[in-house]
Structure formats: C-alpha cells, structure tokens
C-alpha cells in the first residue's frame, strides 16, 4: 500500500483536517471556524439556553462569553451595533442574550459608554430593564455612568408611557421599579413624571399622576366582574394589570379584546380564550382574533419572531400546555390562522428562481432544543425549509444523516415529505419520525453528483457537527461543480451557537447564516440570485 495516497486535498475523511484553518468540532470531525462577528450573531439570535447535543448550557455560554470579551476590547462598535440591530429588528426569539451581551459591554471600559447609550433601544420594556439589571450586577457595581443610564431610561419617557411600564411590568428576577429608582435617583422637571416616581417609590398620589395608575389601583381592589370590565374600558388596562380572579371571567376578556390585546400577548392567551368559550368554531370572537393573528403589520410592529409563532401553533394545536397548566379543545380556524401567521412573520420573500435543494440534518445531535424553547434544532430546520418551499417554485427538500460503513442505507438521505400545504405540526411530525444517525453534511452534494441532479443552490440546515463522511462538504461542493458544470452555491444555516461552519469562508459561493434569524429566507434568495 502506498501510504502517500492517503493524503488527498480533494477528498478527505471528515475526521481528518482538509484545510489548515479547520479545527476539530465536538463530534470529532473537522470544520471551519467562524470569526467573532459571526459567532456573536449566532449567540444573540440562538442563545445558549438548553446547550447543544455535545455541550451543556454553561459550557456553551463560556465559549460565547469569550467572544464578548474579545470584541468588547477590540471592536466595541461592532459589538454594540450588532446587539442593537438584532434586538430592535426582532431577529431573535428571546432578548436574554442581547441583554446579557449589553450588560457585559457596559462593564468594560472600551465599550461601556456605547453600551449604556444603547440601553433604551435594547431594554424597551420594564421586564427587559430588570433582566439587564440582573445581568449587569454580575459584572460591575452601580457607578455613576450606570446610574445615569438607568435614570435616563425613566426620564426620557412621557408620564403616561412610564405609568404603563410601571403597572404592566411590575417585577422580575427580584427587581422592581422602586428598587431601580432608589438606585438611579432620576430627576425630572415634568410634574407627571415626578408624581409617577413618587407613586412608585412611596405610593403617594399627586395631582399630575396619570389616570392609568388610578385605574390599576382600583382594579386590584375590585371584586366584581362589572367593575373590572368598566375599568378595562375606561382606562385601557391590559391583562397584566388585573388581579388573577379577573382573568377567569369571559366578560373581562371581552372587554380586553375590545380595548386591544397586543399581538404577542394574544398568541399566549389563545388557550385561555378557548377554554373560556370566546373562540368557538362559529361566532364568538374567533373571526376577529384570527384576523389579528394573520395581520402582517401587527406582527412586524410587535417584533413577533417566527419561532414564537411556531411554538404558539404547536402548543395550541396540541390542546395541552407544555407546563401542565391545563387542556383545551383547539379551534380549527385559530390553528389555521397561526399556521398562516408563521409564514407571514418572515415578511415578503422574493423567490430566487433557482433550482434549490433544501437539506435538513436530521442526525442525533439535531435533537437538541433551540434557544431553550420546546422545539428541536431539526424541527426548527424543517420549519425554515417550509418557508423556502413556499417561496421557491423549483425547490425540493431532503433529510439526511450519514452512510453506513461508506455505503447507502435507507435512512442516509430521503425526500422530506413536507409541504407548505400541510399543517406545521403535521410537517414537523414527519421530521420527528425520521431515523437518527451520524452526521455527514457532504451527503446533499454527494447525492446530487451521483444522481446527476441539476442544483443551483444547496441549503444545508445543520449544527455543523459533521464527522461521518469520507469527503468534506466544501470538497463535495467542488466535486459537484466540476462534474455538473454548474457553479453551484452553498448556504449553511447554523442551528446552534457553536464556533463551527462547513462553509469555506474564502469561497464566495458559500454563505453561513444564523438559523431562525427572521431575515434568513430573504438572505438565502438574495444570495442565490447573486445580490
């Protein structure tokens, strides 16, 4: 045997390094590493809640904190601007990572001023501010700059807007507005603000106190349904401003719906509204609620993330709370409206018109949850693929794992029997039923080469923990290009906040994007079209 034949830069087993820039991933294969800016975006969008298949949440968090440490010192402008962009554009399903990153940046001299200036844009609600306060104490004390920034969060609001925050978001993580006001000592010239501060801190009622506070206090003391209904209509109270007893009354929710329930809150309250009989198959408030659920303008203004809609759809259609909080009989119109809202939440996506192969990694490691939510990485990948299938007339989808001993077996790569015409929960059950095995992210390109498929764009949804193939994905793409004569592109949709990608960063025909960034479908089509 000629041992020199084992060194092949065009076909290398994934358990060996094919390029000096590659590093060993958690599964034992070699992959390219992302730069810090790309890793930051993954962390902000995907978070680390739930960890990954190979890493506990704490270990994954440590890896990503190291990115924050480097960027805060070397590139604070990019760090803070990316935090603001991801947060304000609603690109992430949760705000925890953005608030954590901002809190860390606020503790480093090089980035502190930028981070504190960005506080009102990232911490847009009282709950966000409380989370930020919890995180920031992990890194620093309450110096003058931090106190001034928190004081500004309060003083830059009108009295009515601040009163709304005070009675809707009253406490979180052991913090209250009273705690923060005593720390920050804001000074206001506006009489309404001064009276609102005084009510928050010591309960005093001044002449300029917004009437919303009066309505809140009366609602908390009331015991009769008629009083709650009257106060909701008179003061525009939200459900968070009412006592628990009021929330079990259909008449109260009728009033709340008349006043207007915000988009995110409406999705979360659908099970309750159904149990209370407000969303029957015919009549009730069903048509009104389903129209609001599918309203694209409302979804965008409320920064409703598609994964939040997906989780709401799965939970509602199941008829059972994941937390064991009760059961209900789903209303078909409502389930269908949530299904449609998932696609609407991505906005208008222009088709690329390219021949597209969507390849979902259904290997064992993709069974890890995304962002600590009740959905796995492979389910989330299938949901993203559905959006692309709804957009691209020439797209097809496959699910893949790895070959067995170098040869094909039935579950290595199979057509993914999903379609936008099927209900979301039905489509995800198809993915859940597919067998799990090892990970070979080269298989989509190998399959297209062997079957002589004509593909312009490969889209691979994966955690990048590939290891089981006899050829690296970037080598397989090069081989496909040579064999087919098609200058095919590869888009890698990363589904976990790790440091790895199968995309060669020096190949202009490869793109790495963050899974469940709400902009992903548009990014894919624009890249495929060469924009």
Q: How far apart are CA 200 and CA 206, in angstroms?
A: 12
**Between the CA of residue 258 and those of 175, 261, 285, 294, 482, what are the distances in Å?**
32, 8, 10, 18, 63
Strand pairing of 489-494 and 23-24? unpaired
Average pLDDT across each block of 10 residues of the chain; the chain has 531 residues. List them in order: 73 93 94 95 88 82 94 97 95 93 98 98 97 97 97 97 97 96 95 97 95 97 98 97 97 97 95 97 96 94 89 90 82 95 87 95 88 84 90 93 61 85 81 86 96 97 94 97 98 93 95 87 92 76
Alpha helices for 52-93 (secondary structure H): 57-74, 76-88
> At 256, which helix (H) or strand (E)?
helix 250-259
Q: How far apart are CA 133 and CA 100, in angstroms?
A: 10
What pLDDT was estimated at residue 54?
80
Q: How far apart are CA 387 and CA 397, in angstroms?
A: 11
Q: How far apart are CA 99 and CA 105, in angstroms?
A: 10
Task: Look at the domain 349-529 and name its fold.
Answer: Rossmann fold (3.40.50)
Beta-bridge mates of residue 502: none
What pLDDT was estimated at residue 324?
66
What pLDDT was estimated at residue 404?
66
| Angle, CA 263 vertex, CA 372 and CA 523 arms, to 5° | 60
Beta-bridge mates of residue 399: 360, 414
What pLDDT was estimated at residue 265?
95
Q: How far apart are CA 20 and CA 196, in angstroms?
A: 61
User: pTM (2 decimals)?
Assistant: 0.90
Q: How far apart are CA 436 and CA 399, in angstroms?
A: 10
Beta-bridge mates of residue 357: 396, 458
Contact 466, 496 (CB under 8 A): no
- At 52-98, the pLDDT tens digits run 878 888 888 899 999 999 999 999 999 999 999 999 998 888 899 99
Annotate 375-442 with DSSP letters as a single string: SBHHHHHHHHHHHHHHH-TTEEEEEE---BTTB--TTSEEE----TTS-HHHHHHHHHTSPP----TT
- At 485-531, the pLDDT tens digits run 999 999 999 999 899 999 999 999 999 999 878 888 889 999 999 97
What pLDDT was estimated at residue 123?
98
Laid out side by side, the sheet with 356-361 consists of 413-415, 395-400, 356-361, 457-462, 489-494, 510-514
What pLDDT was estimated at residue 411?
57
For residue 224, give every residue at least 6 positions away whose Cβ sits within 8 Å of its Cβ, in sequence order, or none.
Answer: none
HEC assignment per residue over 470-486:
CCCHHHHHHHHHHHHCC
- Please give the backbone phi and psi of residue 513, each rounded to the nearest 5 degrees, phi first: -130, 165
Strand pairing of 489-494 and 457-462? parallel
Domain limits, the chain: 35-212, 277-347, 349-529
What pLDDT was estimated at residue 408?
43
Task: Take residue 350 and report the two structure tokens written for it.
Answer: 């222009």
């Amino acid at each position: 045997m000629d041992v020199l034949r084992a060194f092949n830069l065009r076909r290398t087993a994934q358990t060996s390094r094919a390029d000096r820039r590659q590093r060993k991933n958690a599964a034992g294969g070699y992959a390219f590493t992302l730069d810090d800016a790309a890793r930051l975006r993954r962390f902000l969008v995907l978070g680390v809640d739930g960890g990954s298949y190979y890493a506990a949440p704490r270990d994954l968090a440590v890896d990503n904190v190291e990115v924050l440490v480097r960027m805060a010192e070397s590139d604070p402008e990019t760090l803070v601007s990316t935090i603001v962009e991801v947060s304000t554009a609603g690109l992430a399903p949760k705000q925890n990572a953005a608030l954590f990153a901002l809190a860390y940046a606020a503790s480093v001299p090089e980035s502190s001023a930028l981070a504190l200036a960005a506080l009102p844009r990232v911490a847009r609600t009282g709950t966000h501010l409380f989370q930020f306060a919890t995180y920031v104490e992990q890194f620093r004390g309450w110096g003058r700059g931090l106190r001034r920034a928190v004081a500004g969060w309060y003083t830059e609001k009108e009295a009515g807007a601040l009163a709304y925050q005070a009675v809707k978001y009253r406490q979180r993580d052991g913090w209250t507005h009273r705690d923060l006001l005593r720390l920050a000592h804001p000074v206001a010239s506006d009489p309404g603000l001064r009276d609102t501060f005084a009510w928050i801190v010591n309960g005093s009622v001044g002449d300029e106190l917004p009437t919303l506070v009066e309505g809140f206090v009366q609602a908390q003391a009331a015991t009769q349904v008629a009083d709650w209904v009257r106060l909701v209509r008179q003061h525009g109270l939200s459900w968070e401003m009412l006592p628990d007893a009021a929330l079990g009354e259909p008449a109260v929710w009728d009033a709340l719906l008349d006043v207007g329930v915000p988009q995110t809150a409406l999705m979360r309250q659908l099970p309750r509204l159904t149990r209370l009989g407000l969303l029957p198959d015919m009549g009730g408030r069903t048509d009104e609620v389903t129209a609001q659920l599918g309203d694209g303008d409302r979804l965008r203004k409320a920064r409703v993330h598609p994964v939040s809609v997906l989780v709401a759809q799965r939970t509602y259609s199941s008829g059972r709370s994941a937390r064991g909080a009760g059961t209900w009989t789903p209303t078909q119109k409502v389930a269908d409206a949530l299904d449609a809202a998932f696609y609407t939440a991505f906005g208008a996506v222009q088709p690329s018109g390219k021949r597209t192969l969507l390849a979902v990694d259904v290997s064992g490691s993709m069974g890890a949850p995304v962002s600590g939510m009740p959905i796995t990485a492979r389910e989330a990948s299938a949901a993203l693929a559905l959006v692309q299938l709804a957009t691209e007339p020439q797209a097809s989808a496959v699910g893949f794992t790895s070959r067995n001993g170098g040869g094909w077996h039935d579950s290595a790569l199979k057509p993914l029997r999903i379609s936008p015409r099927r209900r979301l929960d039905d489509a995800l059950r198809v993915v859940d039923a597919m067998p799990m095995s090892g990970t070979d992210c080269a298989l989509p390109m190998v399959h297209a080469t062997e079957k002589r498929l004509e593909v312009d764009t490969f889209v691979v949804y994966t955690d990048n923990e590939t290891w089981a193939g006899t050829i690296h994905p970037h080598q397989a793409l090069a081989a496909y290009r040579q064999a087919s004569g098609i200058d095919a592109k590869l888009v890698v949709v990363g589904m976990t906040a790790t440091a790895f990608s199968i995309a060669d960063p020096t190949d202009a025909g490869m793109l790495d994007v963050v899974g469940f960034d709400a902009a992903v479908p548009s990014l894919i089509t624009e890249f495929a079209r060469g924009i």
